[in-house]
Amino acid sequence: MGHLTTHVLDTTSGKPAAGVSIHLYCAGMLIATAVTNADGRCDEPLLEGDSIVSGVYDLVFGIGDYFQQPEPRFLDEVVVRFTVGDAEQHYHVPLLATPWSYTTYRGT
């Protein structure tokens, strides 16, 4: 059974990023929301079972609010667009972020 998970790491402090808002979209429609816990992860998968289907998804991370940078923020929302090709697989999409940069990858 496939599922989608994520976590956020604050690479400025070297710690998990707690309290980051996450919005998940597919085909432009909001399909899930979450907030990261003390470990920088969501308490449950964002999608699992029949709710995950092949397609293009956008994970939107509220990084600007997390870092509480004054306006104008260099990064406000980080959007990670990715494709689920096989809905039976596990897709893990971590975000490593600072107020000025980010990186992501397909994790395990």
Q: Tokens for 64?
A: 């600007």
Per-residue pLDDT averaged across 17-41, rounded? 97
CA distance 50 to 47: 8
Total domain count for the chain?
Answer: 1
Q: Say if CB 20 and CB 66 are below 8 A apart.
A: yes
What confidence tens digit (pLDDT) does each residue in 42-71 have? 999 999 999 999 999 999 999 999 999 888
CATH code of the domain in which 45 resides = 2.60.40.180
Q: State which residues form the domain around 47.
A: 3-104
What confidence tens digit (pLDDT) does each residue in 81-101 have? 999 999 999 999 999 999 999
Question: In the beta sheet, which residues pair with residue 29?
Answer: 26
